[in-house]
Chains A and B, each alone.
Chain A
Amino acid sequence: MRHLSTKATCNSHGQDSSYFLGWEEYEKNPYDEVQNPKGIIQMGLAENQLSFDLLESWLEKNPEPAGFKRDGKSIFRELALFQDYHGLPAFKKALVEFMAEIRGNRVSFDPNHMVLTAGATSANETLMFCLAEPGEAFLLPTPYYPGFDRDLKWRTEVEIVPIHCTSSNDFQITETALEAAYHEAQQRNLRVKGVLVTNPSNPLGTTLSRSELNLLISFITTKGIHLISDEIYSGTVFSSPGFVSVMEVLKDRNCDKTEVWDRVHIVYSLSKDLGLPGFRVGAIYSNDDVVVATATKMSSFGLVSSQTQYLLSALLSDKKFTKNYISENQKRLKKRQNMLVMGLERAGISCLKSNAGLFCWVNMRHLLRSDTFEAEMELWKKIVYDVRLNISPGSSCHCTEPGWFRVCFANMTEETLDLAIKRLKDFVVEHTANGHSKSNNSSKNSKRKFLLKWVLRLSSRDRDQEPDER
């Protein structure tokens, strides 16, 4: 008899072993300005490290919340015992207000419709458990965050069917693509329960346009299915056209008393906007009472530490702080993105025009030996080993076109980013000079053998060092 479950043993995290190779190589040889200046620079980690000083200074000025105190009195006992899965009311109130503030107060949220979970990872999985049976499917536009393959599918047994987006229209979602995905699901005998979008998008770094949102709402209305909008990056929108939340579009369409209202759900987290992935703060927001009630009970499997809820409720209740933080954080992200975009441009590399996120969606198609994913892998390995940058290949995000890479810019210092850009520039110059483009085929074979060697070695390795970060 088989001892362990299929979930435990057919532990498939990424058919794309290259994704992990980059991480492993980085771990072995991490860049350090002083100690290891030739090491690999981590550009595959979507962390926001730009605004810690603002948080740290707030903590210095407000020692009470971290010290388990309220008005000079210890509330340690109260917090130590607080495990109500409805969450700390003050925290939920502060969180919904923060979310509204990020959306320019064009929408408001009801804390009674919010469910706290230990991170958006937990929120997304829980929503799947609430909305779909094993074997049913959700449609996701590609490219998408690689972690979704685990978060949405693994224990829930829900399937993902891709909505193919292409560079021909800047990867925007089209009606044709939606219908094609729905049709594909039907061909595979999969019942579609909804669409899940990330807005702003990971890995594109773009916000969904009003027309895309309207398209989505019409689509789910016609099909009678759900829409999940993962808005984890909503606070990172730094330039126009600005962020339009799905709630805003629903409101504008006067959907608030209609059936579709109950089928739209939002996921949020403080991991990207506030740069606090370690604190495990995620949330589900739903207009459907049954979903809220069920998700609330399910949150027992991943509650937010009361210690953390209390600290952050104080932080987010400080409106002076949040106002300043939101605008300053966006400014810094914009500057950083611009630095990367300009730097890449000088190297002859263009990026998808983006207005959000902690990364750029970079176009390196012209550097590919051939228009294939094999060539993408080859290029990617060169970038990891020769250029010594860990960036994420588009194939790991299920992109349908080879040659795109996600490059993060907010998880390092300015100096390090400068260095990364310089290295890439040098690489491109050399690459072009040596004719390592699609026309040169002679070293193709030996390189392919080299590549295969690495791919095979990989599959036997324990895939334990999995990058958890988006």
Chain B
Amino acid sequence: MQMLSKKAACDSHGQDSSYFLGWQEYEKNPYHEVQNPNGIIQMGLAENQLSFDLAESWLADNPDVLGLKRDGKSVFKELALFQDYHGMPTFKNELVEFMAKLRGYKVEFDPKKLVLVAGSTSANESLMFCLAESGEAFLLPTPYYPGFDRDLKWRTGVEIVPIHCSSSNDFKITGCALEDAYEQAKKLNLNVKGVLVTNPSNPLGTTMDRDELNLLIDFAITKKIHIVSDEIYSGTVFDSTSFVSIIEAVTDRNIHDTHELWKRIHMVYSLSKDLGLPGFRVGMIYSNDETVVAAATKMSSFGLVSSQTQFLLTNMLSDKKFTNKYIEENRKRLKSRKEMLVSGLSGAGIECLNSNACLFCWVDMRHLLSSDTFEAEKELSKRILFEVGLNISPGSSCHCSEPGWFRMCFANMSQETLKVAITRIKDFVESITSSRENCNHELTVLDSRRRSVSKWVLPLSPYDNNEPADR
């Protein structure tokens, strides 16, 4: 008899072993400005490290909160005992206010519809448990965050069917692509329960425009399915007016609580990207369906937010002066950093998808591929890892249907480090270009490089996963 469950035994994380290779190599040889200037620079980690000073200075001004005090009195006991899965009411009030602020107050949120969970990883999984049976499917536009393969599918048994997006129209979702995905699901005998989008998009770094949102809404109405909008990056939109939340989009279509689609709209949020606090595990589900809210609330027992953390962040978010400044300053810094990367890459002849949000760029390196194949993408990926010394995420790991695209993060390092990374890429491209001018020579070089690359590909599979948990 099999001793462990299938979930434990066939623990399949990443058919894309190259994704993990990058991480492993980085761990072995991490860049450090002083101690290891030739090491690998981590550009595969979508962390927001740009605004910690603002949070730190707030903490320095508010020592009582850390000391678990309120008005000078200790609230330690109260917090130690607080495990109500409805969450701290004051915290939820502050969160909905913060979320509304991020959307320019164009929408309003009801704290009673909010469910707190330990990170959006938990939120997404719980929503799947609430909306779909094992064996049913959700449609996701590609490219998408690799972690979804685990978060949405692993323990839930739910399937993902891709909505193929392409560079021909900047990877926007089209009516055709939606229908194709739906048909594909039917062919696979999968009952489609909904569409899950990440808006702003990971890995694209773009916000969905109104046309896309309307297409999505029409599609969900016609097919009578759910829309889950993961808006985890909503606070990273450089220019707030350009972000249209799903709630805003449906409201603008006069879809209110009497419309049958209303209850099928759900949102996911987290403080991991906007506030740069992935370690604190603060995620949430927002749903217009009371049954979903009730079920998700009970499910949150499996991943509640630490009361110590709820208390700290309630106080932080209730300081409006702080949040106003933070939101604005954070956006400014992210925008400036992105522009630095984009222009740096442009100087190396590499273009990025035009983006207006997030902590990364979607970089077009198709012209650097030896052929228009994923094998060539893998090859290039390894060269960038071993020769250039940068860990970046290949598009194939995000299920992109076109080879040659890479996600490069810019907010998890200092400006100086980013400059080093840009210089390295520039040098690399120059060396490729000059070697390409000598065609015959290049073919031999590529062959031998390919051989040395395949030497690296094979031993990967039995490795224990030092899996990148971060988006």
B288 located at the interface, meaning its Cβ lies under 8 Å from any Cβ of chain A in the complex: no
Q: Mark B1-26, 1 if CB is under 8 A from A, else 0.
A: 10111111101010000000000000
Residues of B within 8 A of A56 (CB): 74, 76-77
C-alpha spacing A132/B9, complex, angstroms: 11
CB pair B118–A4 under 8 Å, yes or no, is no
Q: Does A191 contact B (CB under 8 A)?
A: yes
Minimum CB–CB distance from A419 to chain B (whole Å) comes to 21
Closest residue to A45 on the B side, CB-wise? Answer: B81
Q: Does A17 contact B (CB under 8 A)?
A: no
Shortest CB distance A282–B (Å): 10
CB distance from A95 to the nearest CB of B (A): 15
Does B291 contact A4, Cβ atoms closer than 8 Å? yes
List of A residues within 8 angstroms of B470 by Cβ = 83
- The proximity string for B residues 37-50 relative to A, scoring 1 for CB distances below 8 Å and 0 otherwise, is 00000000001010
Interface flag for B177 (CB, 8 Å): no
* B59-72 to A contact mask, C-beta < 8 Å, 1/0: 10001001110000
Distance in Å: Cβ of B200 to nearest Cβ of chain A: 21
In the assembly, what is the distance between CA of A49 and CA of B81, in Å?
8
Does A308 lie within 8 Å of B155, measured CB to CB? Answer: no
Given A5-B129, A68-B59, A280-B118, A130 and B5 contact (CB-CB distance below 8 Å):
yes
Binary contact readout B292-319 vs A (1 if CB under 8 angstroms, 0 otherwise): 1011111101111111110010000000
Partner of A301, one of B3, B122, B280, B464: B122
Given contact pairs A56-B77, A191-B1, A121 touches B301 in the complex (Cβ within 8 A): yes
- The answer to the question of B85 belonging to the interface, with a C-beta cut-off of 8 Å to chain A, is yes
Instruction: Name the A residues within 8 Å of B191 (CB-CB).
Output: 1
A301 touches B80 (CB 8 A): no
Please give the residue numbers on chain B whose beta carbons come within 8 Å of chain A beta carbons, in ascending order.
Answer: 1, 3-9, 11, 13, 47, 49, 52, 55-56, 59, 63, 66-68, 74, 76-77, 79-85, 118-119, 121-122, 125, 129-134, 150-151, 154-155, 191, 193, 224, 226, 263-264, 272, 276-281, 289, 291-292, 294-299, 301-309, 312, 464-465, 467, 469-470
A395→B295 CA distance, assembly (Å): 25
- In the complex, A314 has a CB within 8 A of chain B: no
A76:B59 contact, CB within 8 angstroms: yes
Specify which of B193, B224, B281 is in contact with A305 (CB 8 Å cutoff): B281
Residues of B within 8 A of A331 (CB): none
Size of chain A's interface in residues, with CB distance under 8 A? 77
Q: Contact between A305 and B280 (Cβ–Cβ < 8 Å)?
A: yes
- CB distance B3 to A263 under 8 Å? yes
In the complex, the answer to whether A84 meets B469 with C-beta atoms within 8 Å is yes
- The interface residues of chain A lying within 8 Å CB-to-CB of B9 are 290
Question: How far is B82's CA from A47's CA once the two chains are assembled, in angstroms?
Answer: 11
* Residues in chain A near residue B297, CB distance under 8 A: 464
Which of the segments A209-217, A291-299, A384-392, A425-433 contacts the partner chain? A291-299
Contact A305 B81 (CB under 8 A): no
Question: Which residues of chain A from 85 to 101 have a CB within 8 Å of any chain B CB?
Answer: 85
Q: Mark A301-336, 1 if CB is under 8 A from B, else 0.
A: 111111110010000000000000000000000000
Q: Which residues of B contact A279 (CB under 8 A)?
A: 79-80, 306-308
Decide yes or no: A130 and B4 within 8 Å by CB, A55-B80, A301-B122, A305-B306 being known contacts.
yes
Q: Known: A56-B77, A279-B308. Contact between A85 and B469, CB under 8 A? A: yes
CB-CB under 8 A from A143, the residues of chain B are none
| Residue in B224, B299, B464 whose Cβ sees the most chain A Cβ within 10 Å | B299
CB distance from B110 to the nearest CB of A (A): 16
Q: In the complex, how many residue pairs between chain A and chain B have their CB atoms under 8 Å apart? A: 243
Identify which of B55, B79, B132, B298 contacts A466 (C-beta below 8 A): B298
Q: Which of B151, B264, B278 is packed against the most chain A CB atoms within 10 Å?
A: B278
Contact of A277 among B81, B276, B305 (CB under 8 A): B81
Q: Min CB distance, B309 to chain A, in Å? A: 4
A290 contacts B55, C-beta separation under 8 Å? no
For chain A, residues 208 to 251, give those with C-beta under 8 angstroms from any C-beta of chain B.
224, 226
Are B133 and A5 within 8 A (Cβ)?
A: yes
Query: Can you report 9 A-B residue pairs in the complex whose CB atoms are below 8 A from each other?
Result: A5-B133, A52-B77, A81-B47, A122-B303, A297-B13, A298-B154, A303-B118, A304-B306, A305-B305
- CA A56 – CA B69 in complex, angstroms? 11
Would you give the 0/1 interface string for A1-26, flagging 1 where the beta carbon is closer than 8 Å to chain B?
A: 10111111101010000000000000
Residues of the B chain whose Cβ atoms lie less than 8 Å from the Cβ of A191: 1
Given A66-B68, A307-B308, A466-B85: 8 more A-B contacts, CB < 8 Å: A3-B193, A76-B59, A77-B49, A80-B280, A83-B279, A280-B305, A297-B465, A308-B309
Known: A118-B302, A297-B13, A301-B122. A8 touches B81 (CB 8 A): no
Say whether A469 faces chain B, with CB atoms less than 8 Å apart: yes
Closest residue of A by beta carbon distance from B264: A3
A276 interfacial by beta-carbon distance below 8 Å: yes
Residues from chain A with Cβ under 8 Å of B308 in the complex: 278-279, 305, 307-308, 311
Q: Is the CB of A66 within 8 A of B66?
A: yes
Can you list, as one digit per residue, whether each of A23-44 has a CB less than 8 Å from chain B (1) or not (0)?
Answer: 0000000000000000000000
Contact of A3 with B4 in the complex, beta carbons under 8 Å: no
Q: Are B226 and A3 in contact (CB under 8 A)?
A: yes
Residues of A within 8 A of B3 (CB): 131, 224, 226, 263
How many Å lie between the Cα of A447 and that of B325 in the bound state? 64
Contact B224 A1 (CB under 8 A): yes
Q: Which residues of B contact A226 (CB under 8 A)?
A: 3
Q: List, in ascending order, chain A residues with CB within 8 A of B77's CB.
A: 49, 52, 56
Known A81-B49, A129-B7, A297-B467: A13·B298 in contact at CB below 8 Å? yes
Closest to A224 in B: B1
Complex Cα–Cα for A280 and B308 (A): 10
Collect the chain B residues with CB atoms within 8 Å of residue A151's CB.
Answer: 301-302
Tell me the A152-204 residues at the B interface (CB within 8 Å). 155, 191
Interface centre among B3, B125, B297, B470 (most CB of A within 10 A): B3
Is A80 in contact with B52, judged by CB distance below 8 angstroms?
A: yes
In Å, the complex CA distance between A336 and B151 comes to 45
Are A297 and B150 interface neighbours, CB within 8 A?
Answer: yes
Question: A5–B131 contact, CB under 8 A?
Answer: yes
User: In the complex, A87 Cα to B347 Cα: how many Å?
Assistant: 41
A275: Cβ under 8 A from any B Cβ: yes
Let me know if A278 and B306 touch, CB within 8 A: yes
Closest residue of chain A to B309, judged by CB?
A305
**Contacts of B67 on A, CB cut-off 8 Å?**
59, 63, 66-67
